[in-house]
């Protein structure tokens, strides 16, 4: 399984769109891996796209992508840095020509409402071009060549309006945790009951070295605690790849500072454009 991190920031990006903190000043001055766009991830170079933020068009240009070739779009939740559905409406015939594939968008009931709202505003929907498939929590779905397990995140306004996912293909299994606080025991019990041994975990590290207010994101310490909890249940081990992502400038660390901390624990620090294979 190939994982391509198109964007690796929290909502306001790095540098923050209206911020002048040390991290944002450093990113403006030095560029490179310290420049972060809103989180979006491509699996197997186009078989599955995770999330569709407002930065999707930039990602298309920056990474020479063709979104017309993608048939499966998996949405974690309704926040605009993960779903900017108004741009999906540009797939309609008034805007896009010569399409030969249909895009199916997958997400929970709250995501479905935000999706529908965008198309209602445009007063059009063409199911032959794009359609929505609603997902329930604690279920397994076949999405293209993948088996996707839907798990409630500790995020959003109420339990169940945001998801994290386990994504399986062949012998490989990815646990994708953007965005969530520390997962509930119910989620951990589900993983254990279904014997979902993990080859890679993409960890929410929004807080980096700080505790995120409200417990709706994790930091490095909570990432390590989660790995320990999963290890105790036999769900990960020394062969598992651990990737930190979804960084906020409010975490107070540059890319290099974060990397130096992560390297101590043999964890990868994601950056925009990073590719790994598991």
pLDDT digits (tens, 9 = 90+) for 108-120: 999 999 999 999 9
- What integer pLDDT is reported at residue 83 of this predicted model? 98
Count of beta carbons in the 10 Å neighbourhood of residue 32: 10
- What integer pLDDT is reported at residue 101 of this predicted model? 92
Query: Residues of the chain whose pLDDT is less than 50?
Result: none
Predicted TM-score of the model (pTM): 0.96
- What integer pLDDT is reported at residue 214 of this predicted model? 62
CA–CA distance, 147 with 165 (Å, rounded to integer): 10
**How remote is the C-alpha of 240 from its chain's centroid?**
19
- What integer pLDDT is reported at residue 211 of this predicted model? 67
Q: Are 107 and 74 in contact (CB under 8 A)?
A: yes
Share of the chain above pLDDT 90, in %: 90
Backbone phi, psi, residue 134, to 5°: -80, 140
- What integer pLDDT is reported at residue 121 of this predicted model? 86
Alpha helices in the chain (DSSP H): 22-30, 56-62, 85-88, 109-122, 185-193, 220-232, 255-263
Report which DSSP code applies to 90. G
CA–CA distance, 248 with 4 (Å, rounded to integer): 19
């Amino acid at each position: 399984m190939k994982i391509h991190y198109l964007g690796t920031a929290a909502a306001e990006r790095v540098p923050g769109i209206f911020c002048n903190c040390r991290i944002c000043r450093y990113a403006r001055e030095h560029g490179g891996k310290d420049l972060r766009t809103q989180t979006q991830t491509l699996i197997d170079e186009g078989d599955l796209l995770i999330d569709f933020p407002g930065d999707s068009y930039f990602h298309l240009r920056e990474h020479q992508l063709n979104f017309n070739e993608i048939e499966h779009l998996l949405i974690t939740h309704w926040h605009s840095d993960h779903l900017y559905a108004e741009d999906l409406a540009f797939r309609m015939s008034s805007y896009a020509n010569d399409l030969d594939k249909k895009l199916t968008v997958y997400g929970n009931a709250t995501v479905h409402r935000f999706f529908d709202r965008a198309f209602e505003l445009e007063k059009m929907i063409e199911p032959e071009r794009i359609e929505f498939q609603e997902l329930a929590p604690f279920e397994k779905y076949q999405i293209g060549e993948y088996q996707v397990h839907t798990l409630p995140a500790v995020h959003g306004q109420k339990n169940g309006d945001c998801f994290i996912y386990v994504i399986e293909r062949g012998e490989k299994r990815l646990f994708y945790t953007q965005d969530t606080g520390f997962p509930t025991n119910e989620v951990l019990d589900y993983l254990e009951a279904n014997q979902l041994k993990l080859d890679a975990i993409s960890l929410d590290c929004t807080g980096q070295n700080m505790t995120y207010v409200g417990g709706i994101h994790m930091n490095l310490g909570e990432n390590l605690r989660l790995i320990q909890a999963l290890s105790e249940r036999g769900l990960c081990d020394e062969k598992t790849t651990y990737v930190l992502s979804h960084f906020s400038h409010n975490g107070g660390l540059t890319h290099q500072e974060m990397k130096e901390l992560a390297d101590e624990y043999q964890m990868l620090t994601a950056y925009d454009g990073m590719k790994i294979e598991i």
